[in-house]
Amino acid sequence: MSDETTERPAMHTESTPVVHTSRLVKNFGRTAALAGLDLTVMPGEVHGFLGPNGAGKSTTLRILLGLIRPTSGTARVFGIDPWAEPVRAHREVAYVPGDVTFWPNLSGGEVIDLLAGLRGGADETLRRQLIEEFDFDPRRKARTYSKGNRQKAALIAAFSRRARLYLLDEPSSGLDPVMDAVFRRHVRRVTGEGATVLLSSHILAEVEQLCDRVTIIRSGIAVESGTLAELRHLTRTRFRITATVQPDVLAALQGFHNVRVDGDAIEFDADATHLGAVLDALASAGVTGITAAPPSLEELFLRHYSDQPDGQQSQAQQVQAQQAQAEQTPAEQTQAQQGQVL
């Protein structure tokens, strides 16, 4: 059997996860960045990975990329351990970080060719198309690029050669609305070709438009996972009505929550399990106008973060600082320690 055959990722059926983590734990010193994360990404889907800075999103992606080793638990990409077999696991993976840094003396085109070359080289037709659509000048030196242009270069490198899995960590950071629309179009293109996308983001509108399924992560664990329809079913629908009925009458009925008056209208929330009873009650309430809105992704997200303890932000900053320290070279760590002494 040839080396090429032994290194190729196994073929996967539609029911086999492309990405799977189980009880994944990563500690940076005494700080837990991941505390038992379970994550499953199925073939062909765009999976949103939601959480604020410090929740563990980037740590998860770095483990999937084989850049850091988990403290415990398992992580698999195409069924392969990315730490034990990084080359085999990542042969068909494209990655875009949220904070892109390039070699300052290379041109943008050279950077794109170098990054795409790590996966076998760019499709030249696709490369030219992407450069044109992202309105990117590949002749300039990388040191002259703004954050948005660095992000464009990383996206062009990722999308210019087809992959089975795209790991995107805050990929639209720094893009203006026009370029963001180009990015979304190419996410739809690659998934239309059968690829899988794991999209880490805190831009809720982006996730809501692109993603088939969503996992919400808090303090290193998944607190919700499913389709938007499934997650919305777990929370309440918001109603706004004009009616002759008194608000306190509605407040006393089963299924009506947070009844409040807004000018001439009455607003309230209703449990999904009681929608039938709510609609029956409204039928006899003298309703003259009604609007109903399903919960937005923002409401689903805030449901898990609105009660965040005061110390959580400092914990997030602590995680980020210890991640940065863990990624420093020994020389950099020595220099930092000397700076602290001085």
Give the residue among 167, 139, 169, 143 at the shortest CA–CA distance from 56. Answer: 169
Residues 204 and 138 in one domain: yes
pLDDT of residue 238: 87
Residues 150 and 199 in one domain: yes
Q: Which two tokens stand for residue 315?
A: 């914990």
Residues 114 and 223 in one domain: yes
pLDDT of residue 15: 74
pLDDT tens for each residue of the chain, 342 residues long? 444 444 444 444 467 899 999 999 999 998 899 999 999 999 999 999 988 778 899 999 999 999 999 999 999 999 999 999 999 999 899 999 888 889 999 999 999 999 998 888 889 999 999 999 999 999 999 999 999 999 999 999 999 999 999 999 989 888 899 999 999 999 999 999 999 999 998 777 788 889 999 999 988 999 889 887 777 666 678 899 999 888 999 989 988 988 999 888 999 988 777 888 899 899 888 899 999 887 666 676 776 666 544 444 434 444 444 444 544 445 544 444 444 333
Give the residue among 194, 193, 198 at the shortest CA–CA distance from 211. Answer: 198
How many domains would you assign to the chain? 2
Angle formed at CA 47 by CA 269 and CA 155, multiple of 5 degrees: 125
Please state the φ and ψ torsions of residue 296, each to the nearest 5 degrees: -80, 165
Please state the φ and ψ torsions of residue 221, each to the nearest 5 degrees: -130, 155
Residues 45 and 133 in one domain: yes
Q: What is the CATH number of the domain that holds 92?
A: 3.40.50.300
Q: What is the CATH number of the domain that holds 286?
A: 3.30.70
**CA–CA distance from 208 to each of 39, 47, 184, 211 (Å)?**
19, 10, 12, 6
Residues 120 and 170 in one domain: yes
Q: Which two tokens stand for residue 112?
A: 């794109």
In a domain, 339, yes or no: no
- CA–CA distance, 227 with 195 (Å, rounded to integer): 18
The answer for residues whose C-beta is within 8 angstroms of residue 62's C-beta and 6 or more apart is: 68
pLDDT of residue 119: 87
In a domain, 313, yes or no: no
pLDDT of residue 208: 82
pLDDT of residue 61: 94
Give the residue among 241, 272, 115 at the shortest CA–CA distance from 250. Answer: 241
In a domain, 324, yes or no: no
Q: The pTM is what?
A: 0.73
Residue 78 · residue 11 · CB < 8 Å:
no
In a domain, 306, yes or no: no
Alpha carbon 76 to its chain's center: 18
Residues 138 and 252 in one domain: no
Residue 252 · residue 203 · CB < 8 Å:
no
pLDDT of residue 172: 86
Residue 172 · residue 141 · CB < 8 Å:
no
For every residue of the chain, which 3-state class applies, written as one string?
CCHHHHHCCCCCCCCCCCEEEEEEEEEECCEEEEEEEEEEECCCCEEEEECCCCCCHHHHHHHHCCCCCCCEEEEEECCECCCCCHHHHCCCEEEECCCCCCCCCCEHHHHHHHHHHCCCCCCHHHHHHHHHHCCCCCCCEHHHCCHHHHHHHHHHHHHCCCCCEEEEECCCCCCCHHHHHHHHHHHHHHHHCCCEEEEEECCHHHHHHHCCEEEEEECCEEEEEEEHHHHHHCCEEEEEEEECCCHHHHHCCCCEEEEEEECCEEEEEEEHHHHHHHHHHHHCCCEEEEEEECCCHHHHHHHHHCCCCCCHHHHHHHHHHHHHHHHCCHHHHHHHHHHHHC
Residues 192 and 258 in one domain: no
pLDDT of residue 237: 84
In a domain, 321, yes or no: no
In a domain, 46, yes or no: yes
Residues 44 and 30 in one domain: yes
Please state the φ and ψ torsions of residue 229, each to the nearest 5 degrees: -60, -40
Range of the domain at 295: 236-299
In a domain, 213, yes or no: yes
For helices 108-117 and 147-159, angle between their N-to-C axes, nearest 10 degrees: 40
Residues 118 and 67 in one domain: yes
